[in-house]
Chains A and B, each alone.
Chain A
Amino acid sequence: MLPARPASGADGGGVPNARSPEPGSAPPAVAARSLLGTAWLRIRRSKIALAALAVVVLMILFAALAPVLTAIEGQDPYTTRTSPDVLDDYGTPGLPLSYYRYPSFDHWLGVEPGLGRDIFARMAHGAQVSLVIALLATVVSVVLGTVLGAAAGYFGGKVDMVISRVMDLFLAFPHLLLVLSLTPILQSRLGDTALGEGSLLPIASLVIILGFFGWAYLARVVRGQVLSIREQEFVEAARAYGASHRSIILKQIVPNVMGVVLVYATMMIPTNITAEAALSFLGVGVKDPTPSWGQMLNAAQAGNWYLTDPWFLAVPAGALVITVLAFNLLGDAVRDALDPKSSRG
């Protein structure tokens, strides 16, 4: 019943969801075989898209190699240094020489005020945590959204009605508020299970929460796509030949919605990175000592440290903005590539 659009951005009750692409720009079905190929051909032509792709790939590599890089640096994200030669009487690193505050040979990005931990090591390991959460949450949303949306569209009738009403419900909830109050609840529920071990707990709970709240919009779009595909001739023909549901879904429907799914998935990733940052920033997501970019923002704001030590804020903020920007530009490029109509021509 609702012409709902996902929460448009990072505030106002509802963070986690993919941004909507411009109106009327839902990509048409593209055959799966050529999907990635087509996309790549088009992306290759745009310098911006190539740069964005490069940054994304580099950032993923950076996160994957975090332990190696910090080993080369000779540091780790957890060791505290509170001796007077590192932190002065105010808890700020290395005044008056500020050796420890800013990049140096020993500490590539300086150390934290208060605890004296290595900022580079935390940033690199934080990249791992932030990206893993965003990617896994996206996978959860995409799987849920595609399966439920396709089921609703394909089977229609009661199945469609039930799934559609559930989608309405999810879209009407103020996501951020709910996530804010539900995450601690989920964390204490998971606390007794295998997922409740140490740093796994906040990661697992964020993946579940963000993934679970992010599927509805994609499902709606997939449902629309499937509705139109179902009526097309090649599907009718397959049905006439007596093909099973299973075979029609796998061979006809799924390949044809892959385009739309791919577009939304690329757009969901930066949204989920932002959502993780927002929740950890508010203190309900990833918690110290586990680093993530949101947790680092939280630490910078705690005690107003960022006012006296802006560098402490700059590192996670910079990493976050660059990554989100790269994913967004890549998302735009993928959308444009799969939907010539919306291209910037």
Chain B
Amino acid sequence: MNRRTVAALALTVATGLTLTACGGPKPAPGSGSRAPADAFEPVKVGDGDATRGGNVNVLMSADFQTLDPGNSNYVQTANVGQLYYRTLTMAKEEAGKPPTIVPDLATDLGKVSKDGLTWTYTLKKGLKFEDGSPITSKDVKYGVERTYARDVYTQAPQELNAALSDDGYKGPYAKGAAADFKGIETPDDRTIVFRLKQPFAEFPALASRSNTAPVPRAEDTKLDYTNHPVSTGPYRIKSYDRGRAMKLVRNEHWDPATDPNRSALPDTFTFSLSTAQSTISQQLLADADPTALTLDSAGGLQASDAAKLDDPAVARRTASGLIGCTDVLDLNTESIKDPQVRKAIALAIDRKAIHLQYGGARFGKLTQSYINPDQRGYVQQHTALDPAGQPKLAEAKKLLKGRDVPKKLVYGYADATPRYKNMGTSLQQNLKQLGIDLELRSIPAANYYTTLAGKNMPDIARSGWCGGADSGSVRTTIDPNLGPSVDGKTFGFSNIPRYHDPEIARAMYALRGENGTSEELGRKWSTLFDRAMQDYPLVPLIRNVTRSVVGSDVRNAQVGYFFGAIDLSTVSVASGSDSGKG
């Protein structure tokens, strides 16, 4: 769920400038970064440098969960994936803003039929796999088919599949009728036609998910495909020593003429896997390797590192920006039934203290809503919460007068993260003021979201959302999180508060089937969301900010809104830093 799904961005003027700036004077290290007027303005490092060559060394605290595009539901692997696979469309990052969806393998963002039920894509000419064989529409279709084999690929992204018709399909390894996929047609080698159940205005974003990365059927080694996925992007995997290191080198069959989205400036990328997180942050802060950067969340920084970020030498090397991920506190509406009690709890929470657990303004911005004005279809949201995060105790106590107030509530937290536990400690103090005894219960991090979706959902829990399949649209945040329930008893996996209001549910159902643009439908979603939020099923907390320190030779480093880390598709190194390690 903290899963941040892929989405994209328009080709900006800046990218064009990058390409023409080759002959110009080289910017001094870090000259691209500037002191932002607003603390949350995005900051890029070494913007505009066009030096080709060199090696980028990516430090990571853990091995990739997978490199198989068909089994990847992680931002980290999607970020790396930009380097070695391409999809029909692509979510192009621009720091501080939701990514723009741009064409990648396809010639455009897709042609939709009048009824909104058919989307047609045409592949560009001259596309090749890393062995030089041509990429056809069949390979794209096969890539999507694999993601239906959910028993094999447990992390296969499902947003695209959920929109397509043919629910009975069980993936290419199944036998009989279940093995014949009708959701996609390939009339010729360059045309792909998707058949949808309902209109889906954000479909081009769905087509940017890793499902549409072409996979040659003959090369499909199933679960072992992760060890060497066949490249369609600017780099291919030269070596992958699991748990230790990976090296990417240029893929000579990638044609830059077909791909305006990836600058592909460095010659190679090395990945140092499972370096300890404290080592990563210390190395980056000390500039131990001038070509290093990290993909770890929050830039691999520890809470105590915050003070060091103010050192000017470090600040010059720090890329930052608001990212798409927002954290909220879910209030279980099945156990805390009275909306007024939920509102009182929301008002009693010291959000400022929670903000401090995130590392303060350096790592997050207090937010009043789950959705934000940078998203398509946003309309003004209303809340009684204090914008500065101070608790409104008097008001909360007044609301509780004469109400049935629970004596004891349970807060569940993922045990691997100290910040979430500390949040509970703070909440405990706040709720005590209302006469509510809060018990803290740790939940194994691995089972956290499963527990929240199951019958053991505590009364209060934190969750995060990074925008869904199209982080640029409000719909893919609202529908999964407070989406409608048929009967008020069964809920979508991400509707953690189990929120149900019959009227709002009916309206949302109707909206799902409606045909229109993402913008106009989004405004209707936002309005319904604002109404639902007056019942306080969840309390908005923090919009996450990522600060990522990079080595002094790293250029074009920007924090991706969706990736929550340095965007690998733009990054490069200044000349003279050829520290490529075998």
**Which residues does A use to contact B, with CB under 8 Å?**
78-80, 82, 87, 89-92, 113-115, 117, 184, 198, 283, 287-289, 299, 302-305, 307-309
Contact A90–B418 (Cβ < 8 Å): no
Residues in B whose Cβ lies below 8 Å from that of A90 = 304, 306-307, 359-360
In the complex, which range does the number of interface residues on chain B fall in?
20 to 34
In the complex, the chain B residue whose C-beta lies closest to that of A191 is B441
Which B residues are in CB contact (< 8 Å) with A302?
303, 418
Is there contact, CB below 8 Å, between B426 and A304? no
A82 touching B440 in the complex, CB below 8 Å, given contacts A91-B306, A115-B426, A299-B418: no
Contact call A82/B304, Cβ cutoff below 8 A: no
Q: Which of A89, A283, A304 contacts B303 (CB 8 A)?
A: A304
Among the listed B350, B418, B444, which residue makes an inter-chain contact with A303, where contact means beta carbons less than 8 Å apart? B418
Known contacts A80-B425, A89-B361; is-contact A304 B306 (Cβ 8 Å) = no
User: What sequence of 0s and 1s flags, for each residue 355-396 of chain B, a beta carbon within 8 Å of any chain A beta carbon?
Assistant: 011011100000000000000000000000000000000000
- Known contacts being A80-B429, A82-B352, is A288 close to B440, with CB within 8 Å? yes
In the complex, A299 Cα to B357 Cα: how many Å? Answer: 13
Which chain A residues lie closer than 8 Å to B439 at the CB level?
198
B426, A82: Cβ atoms under 8 Å?
Answer: yes
B305: which A residues are within 8 A, CB to CB? 304
**Residue B450 at the chain A interface, CB threshold 8 Å:** no
In the complex, besides A80-B425, A91-B306, A303-B418, 12 extra interface pairs with C-beta distance below 8 angstroms are A78-B429, A82-B356, A82-B426, A90-B304, A90-B306, A114-B357, A115-B422, A287-B440, A289-B424, A289-B428, A299-B418, A309-B304
Q: Which residues of B contact A89 (CB under 8 A)?
A: 360-361
Judging by beta carbons under 8 Å apart, are A82 and B353 in contact? yes
- Inter-chain contact B304/A303, CB cutoff 8 Å: yes
In the bound complex, residues from chain B placing their C-beta under 8 Å from that of A184 are 444
Assess whether B343 is interfacial by the CB under 8 Å rule. Answer: no
What residues make up the interface of B, taking CB atoms closer than 8 Å to A? 278, 281, 302-307, 350, 352-353, 356-357, 359-361, 415-416, 418-419, 421-422, 424-426, 428-429, 439-440, 442, 444
- Measured between alpha carbons, how far is A184 from B415 in the docked complex, in Å? 11
| Separation of A90 and B306 alpha carbons in the complex (Å) | 6
Leading 5 A-B pairs by shortest Cβ distance? A303-B303, A302-B418, A82-B353, A304-B302, A308-B304
A114 and B361 contact, Cβ closer than 8 Å, known pairs A78-B429, A307-B304: no
CA distance A113 to B359 in the complex (A): 11
- Tell me, in angstroms, the Cα distance from A299 to B442 when the chains sit together: 15
B360 → chain A, closest Cβ, in Å? 5
B466 to chain A, nearest CB (A): 23
Q: Is A288 in contact with B303, judged by CB distance below 8 angstroms?
A: no
Whether B425 contacts A115 by the Cβ 8 Å rule is yes
CB nearest to A306 among chain B residues: B304
Q: Are B426 and A305 closer than 8 Å at their CB atoms?
A: no
CB-CB under 8 A from A115, the residues of chain B are: 357, 422, 425-426
Are A288 and B421 interface neighbours, CB within 8 A?
Answer: yes
Known: A288-B421, A288-B440, A289-B440. A305 touches B428 (CB 8 A): no
Residue among B281, B302, B424, B444 with the highest chain A CB neighbour number at 10 A: B302
Chain A: CB-nearest residue to B442: A287
Q: State in angstroms the CA–CA spacing of A80 and B305 once bound together.
A: 22
Asked whether A289 and B361 contact (CB < 8 A) given A90-B307, A305-B304, A307-B304, the answer is no
Which residue of chain A is the closest to B421 with respect to CB atoms? A288
Q: Identify A91's interface contact among B350, B356, B429, CB under 8 A.
A: B356
Q: State which of B307, B359, B418, B424 has its C-beta within 8 Å of the C-beta of A308.
A: B307
A–B complex contacts, Cβ < 8 Å, 26 sampled = A78-B425, A78-B428, A78-B429, A79-B429, A82-B352, A82-B426, A87-B356, A90-B307, A91-B303, A114-B303, A114-B357, A114-B422, A115-B426, A184-B444, A283-B415, A287-B440, A288-B421, A288-B422, A288-B440, A289-B425, A289-B428, A289-B440, A303-B303, A304-B278, A304-B304, A308-B307
